[in-house]
Structure 1
Amino acid sequence: MRLPKLLVIASVAILLSACQSLFKPDLNEPLKPKRITWEHRPAGCSAADCPLVNIDTLKFGDEHLNAIIEQALLEKTQTEPGAPVASSLNAYEQEFLRNAQPRWSSYLQANVREQHDALVIIELSSYLDTGGAHGQPGRGILNYDRQQKKVLTLQDILVPGQEKAFWDMAKTAHQAWLIANNLKDDSAFEKEWPFIKTSNIALDFGAVTLKYDVTSIAPYSMGHPLIKIPYPQLNGIVRPEYFPGRRAQ
């Protein structure tokens, strides 16, 4: 018995749709990067104070993401805003070791902080020691959206017109941080280390996290301060699709 033409077309369409769903990447399935590490000193240098470069980074199956991570690490090597950066990590290593003095060192690292809701949250770490009293550590955050294949900006994350409300909420969270660290009644501390904005914002599963560089809102001895804003406080401020568990694929 011959099937009606329209029924055949409908059946083929259903099969094609099923195949597309079957082979579509599951964006909730965590990516599994390969860790790439090396540490080099100048050729022929075997002394205890040889300068060194230590790289500890990640390679994903997503070459676009790999390029973003490498460029972000290279930008962590800038010693002043707007300074030029090397074309690659290998080029940076060669340049650093060519000009480095004994005991100088440079460390660059990328780690997966979290993965959820089609987001890969990468934390970047750097440490540069050029012989001062102590080295200079740095941090960076990349919220990579696998659906859009881009790093999210704050404007991407927030509901339009809500940037002031976001930072007002961050100031409230900073007050909670002061209380938790027994600093709320220390007027001298608050005067010397007032609240400021940061570009290091992570869409963590449990809360939106603000991570600060050393000596930004606290002395060097306190490391990298973390301020957390619970998602319920950000209703109407953060776009609904960036609340954990709310994103449709």
Structure 2
Amino acid sequence: MRLLKLAALGSLCLLLGACQNLFKPSLDEPLPARHNAFEHLRAGCQGEQCPLFNLDTLSFDDEPALNEAIDRQLRELARSQDGAIPGSLDIYEKRFLDSAQPGWSSYLQAKIREQHDGLVIIELSSYRFTGGEYGEPGRAFINYDRRLHKVLTLQDILLPGQEESFWKVARMAHQAWVLQNKLDEQDPNFSRDWPFQTTPHFALTFGSLTLKYDIDRIAPHSVGHPELKIPYPRLNGIVKPYYFPGRGVQ
């Protein structure tokens, strides 16, 4: 009897076009995430100087493309100094702990930054310390479109032929960031020594589009990972209206 009821419900939802709302979160509801976090020390090691590997990540039911993208991006953040990307996070963990010196550590994290308009914005972080004064931090974004079940590139969100205009607007956001933080006042040579550059890290955050920079890219190490904010009204005619907050979900 229960199977008959489910079959009848399935037929009804097909007629009404409501299957997604009945069986999956609708696009205006947050996509639930499964959290997976652990920290492993080198086997048999004891004490504060034991090498460690820490992973804090997410997975999503019914979104295999997003899960694959998170895994791939974390592995890219874990690439070796020669640029090689590990075949899996398990392989990376084993190689790191097997070769690590006392005090070495590696952290990888994926977290939800925002969800809105059928988009899931994932921010990814890494930090690897292998001696010296500083460790090696890394950052990345994933902009995932739940309607298309794909990770968006910059070209996906821009209107045709508008990439140059996009970076002109980003340059203006950089100038505003320098002024707001009084960086030229602190260092008269700041704009000369740390000029504007493009970045692969963008996020379709709700209040404004966010550009994030790797450390030592457009500012000294002490500044950390700078973020530039571009209000969406400045992107009229540049970004597809479909990706403006509030316009995507009908």
Report if TM-score (shorter chain) is over 0.5: yes
- Which residue is equivalent to 1:214? 215
Distance 1:182 1:99, change over 3 A: same
Which amino acid letter does the alignment assign opposite residue 89 of structure 1?
L
Cα shift at 1:24: 6.4
* Corresponding residue of 1:6: none
Residue in 2 that maps onto 1:3: none
TM-superposed deviation, 1:18: 4.7
- Cα RMSD after superposing both structures: 1.9
Residue 200 of structure 1: aligned partner: 201
TM-score normalised by L of structure 1 = 0.90
Q: Which amino acid aligns with 1:203?
A: L
Q: Which residue in 2 is equivalent to 1:141? A: 141
Task: Report what 1:9 is aligned to.
Answer: none
Report the equivalent of 2:109.
Answer: 109
2:194/2:218 contact within 8 Å kept: yes
Per-residue CA distance 1:138-192 (angstroms, 9 max, x = gap):
1000001111111100000100100000000000000000001112454411111
The answer to whether the 8 Å contact 2:38/2:56 transfers is yes
Q: Number of paired residues? A: 237
Deviation of 1:21 after TM superposition, in Å, equals 6.3
SS of the residue corresponding to residue 16 of structure 1 reads helix
Change (3 A) 1:23 1:193: same
**Paired residues of 1:175 and 1:184 also in contact (CA < 8 A):** no
Quickly say closer, same or farther: Cα 1:146–1:223, change in 2 above 3 A: same
Counterparts of 1:1-12 in structure 2 under 5 Å?
A: none
Where does residue 163 of structure 1 map in the other structure?
Answer: 163
* Identity between Structure 1 and Structure 2 (%): 54
What residue number does 1:70 align with?
Answer: 71
Please tell me whether residue 181 in structure 1 is matched to residue 178 in structure 2.
no
* 2:132 corresponds to: 132
CA distance in 1, matches of 2:14, 2:201: 45
Q: Structure 2 length normalisation: TM-score?
A: 0.89
CA distance in 2, matches of 1:14, 1:132: 61
Q: CA deviation at 1:101?
A: 1.1
Q: Say which SS state the counterpart of residue 35 (structure 1) adopts.
A: strand
Deviation larger for 105-114 or 92-101: 92-101
Larger Rg: 1
Q: Distance in 1 between matches of 2:60 and 2:20?
A: 23
Matched, 1:16 2:34: no
Q: 1:248 deviation in Å? A: 4.1
Q: Decide whether the 8 Å contact of 2:53 with 2:107 is kept in 1.
A: yes
Q: Is the 8 A contact 2:118 2:249 kept in 1?
A: no
Distance 1:164 1:47, change over 3 A: same
CA–CA separation in structure 1 for the residues paired with 2:124 and 2:193: 27
Amino acid at match of 2:232: Y
Structure 1 runs not aligned, ≥5 long = 1-11
Secondary structure of 2:126's partner? Answer: strand
What does residue 97 of structure 1 align with?
A: 97
Question: Do 1:57 and 1:109's aligned partners in 2 also have CA atoms closer than 8 Å?
Answer: yes
Deviations 1:59-104 (A, max 9, x none): 11122211210110010012447x2222221221111111111111
- Secondary structure (helix, strand or coil) at the match of 1:174 reads helix
Report deviation, 1:135: 0.6
Name the CA distance, whole Å, in 2 between partners of 1:198 and 1:27.
29
What is the match of residue 243 of structure 2? 242
